[in-house]
Amino acid sequence: MKTAAALLLLLLAPALPGSASDFRDETIYLVLTDRFADGDPSNNDIYGDEYVPGNLRYYQGGDFRGLMDNLSHIKDMGFSAVWITPPVMQPPGRYLNSSETYDAAGYHGYWGWDFSRIDPHLESKGASYADLIREFHSRGLKLIQDVVANHGHGGDTHPSVKWHAERGKVRGLGLEFDYYADGKDWFNRKGPVIADLLDFNDENPATAKWLTDIYLKYQAMGVDAFRLDTVVWMGDAFWRYFTDALHAAKKDFFIFGEAWTRDDFDMLARYSRLSEGEPMNSAMSLLDMPLSAMGTWGPMEEVFKGGDYSKADAIFAHDHKYKDPTWLVTFLDNHDKPRFNGAGGEGQGTPASAEQYFDALNFYFTARGIPCVFYGTEVRMAGGNDPDNRRMLGAEGIKSAKTDPVYHHLKKLNAMRRSAAPLRRGTQTAVFSSSDSYVFRRDYGGETAVVMLNKGSSHALLKAGGLPAGKYRELYAGNKARVSAGLLEAEVPAHGLRVFVKGRVKGRPWRLPGGPEYR
């Protein structure tokens, strides 16, 4: 029989990564592992032609040791989950296509060579994948693994490529399959396929089981969530089979997919409804592509660079189509398009000011969904088209972040979101929008958060009506307010926000500075 003291300890114990939880309570930091930090130079140039410092199409040296040594940088900003690019083994050296028009290396992880082995550029003594997972969990962080089930590496190699003789081979679980000797119908030849990537036949039950078994093993290692690459390139039947197996093996395992579109809300919503049940234990949620601000592509880029908030209203108008939009993963930019800060030139995106970063991040950390921030955002890293949007952060960038106002503002926003359940899990209701002002409320479990955003260059007096009566606490500055007739009004500074909460507030986020002049 348990003693009262033992029961008290159980009640007070924090939830461990992978235990019963709600992933909406997390915020995500996206790391392209090869571009974060080089912790062990000895694993940089394994094959002699794949590591070319300064050439962003090749390995630049980032590894698990560099990530482990700098987890405090991520945790200090307030992030609780880290999404890493695929860690599986890539082709053993440089890739050059047969027409000699494209050359690169698999630094990014999306060209699987052996899906059951970790890329040797990432691991080193004391910094294996298992070591990385343990280190994450010891720091109270969750690890999200990027998953590529659609394809392996590229097979259109020039004869000069070292691994040209094995250009059709893909491996995993000790098995080997050859695109050019495919007696087991392992690969898809019916199309469509992505470039020259070796496309798996997801309609073959044996292939589907092989892929699923591979990722069940990573899940069993302690990975806390999966992000699924190129969802639309595989059939719904495969994804149901794959996600059902993962959810059956581990309760409360979050999965979210990538389906590229600016405005096909019906398609996105369909993936969120592949099976019944809440998203932690059924099918998948999605990256919210239409709500992104990726340079030259994301619809919200225009909003935060002088446009009108009506674009946000038009996107949120489709929220009823999703199983539950509060589970969508939202983001400013990522590793596939120009960064929010652009790099100049045609198709490279336009620069962004610090104030525009504040406006955008204020929105993503208060609106419905799970915010995801691309590494380097904390130093306003510039970057045009791939691979320029994948520059090295390194020790210098990590050090300089401490003096960047965006770094400090991310700490503030993470603290604010962490302090109030409605900001993490609440349903969203529009209140008011104009060119520069946006007001909405979020409700969860009888608690309410009122969010007031101002991206204008001067203070704005904003109002919200129809609110529950009672005492409210403002999370940015710490002011108290009382609502008696349903009306709340507040002056919101230029490029600022005010968030009023009726309900429980954990911690005191208003004690953290954040923003220009810490307004």
H/E segment holding residue 198:
strand 197-199
Which residues 6+ apart lie within 8 Å of 1 measured at CB? none
Q: Kindly report the pTM of this predicted structure.
A: 0.95
Tokens of 143: 């690890």
Buried/exposed 29-47: b ≥16 CB within 10 Å, e otherwise = bbbbbbbbbbbbeebbbeb
What is the rounded distance in angstroms from the CA atom of residue 214 to the CA atom of residue 458?
54
Position 9 scores a pLDDT of 29
Q: pLDDT value at position 178?
A: 98
Q: Which residue, 106, 112, 118, is CA-closest to 49?
A: 106
Pairwise CA distance, residues 273 & 38, whole Å: 41
Ordered by where they begin, the domains of the chain are: 427-514 (2.60.40.1180)
Cβ distance 137 to 16 under 8 Å? yes
Using only C-alpha atoms, the chain has a radius of gyration, in whole angstroms, of 23
Sequence-distant (≥ 6) Cβ neighbours of residue 264 within 8 angstroms: none
**Residue 315 one-letter amino acid:** I
Angle between helices 129-138 and 205-221 (to 10 degrees): 50
Place of tokens 């890739």: 95
Q: Token digits for 467?
A: 């609110």
- Phi, psi angles (nearest 5°) of residue 385: -65, 155
Q: Cα(518)–Cα(298) distance, rounded to whole angstroms?
A: 29
Please report the pLDDT score of residue 337 as a whole number: 97
Residue 508 corresponds to which amino acid?
R
Residues in Cβ contact with 461 at an 8 Å cutoff, skipping those fewer than 6 apart? 489, 490, 491, 492
CA–CA separation, 447 and 320 (whole Å): 21
How many whole angstroms separate alpha carbon 95 and alpha carbon 98? 10
Pairing of strands 225-228, 142-147: parallel
pLDDT at 2: 35
Using DSSP, state whether 453 is helix, strand or coil.
strand
Residue numbers in the chain where pLDDT is lower than 70: 1-20, 516-519
User: Between the CA atoms of 214, 220, 221 and 226, what dihedral angle is there, to the nearest 10 degrees?
Assistant: 70
With residue 491 as reference, give the H or E element that holds it. strand 488-492
Q: What is the pLDDT of residue 19?
A: 36
pLDDT of the residue at 514: 83
Question: In 3D, which of 292, 332, 359, 306 has the Cα closest to residue 497?
Answer: 359
Contact 58, 89 (CB under 8 A): no
3-class DSSP string for 107-129? CCCCCCCEEEEECCCCCCCCCCH
- As given in the structure block, the two tokens for residue 355 are 């104030």
Q: Which helix (H) or strand (E) holds 372?
A: strand 370-374
Interatomic CA distance for residues 153 and 163, integer angstroms: 12
φ and ψ of 102, to 5 deg:
-150, 130
Beta-bridge partner residues of 471 = 482
Amino acid symbol at 479? N
Give the model confidence (pLDDT) of 206-253 as tens digits.
999 999 999 999 999 999 999 999 999 999 999 999 999 999 999 999
**Helix, strand or coil, per DSSP, at residue 177:** strand
Question: What pLDDT sits at residue 519?
Answer: 66
pLDDT at 516: 67
Helices marked H in 341-441 — which ranges?
354-364, 394-401, 405-419, 421-425
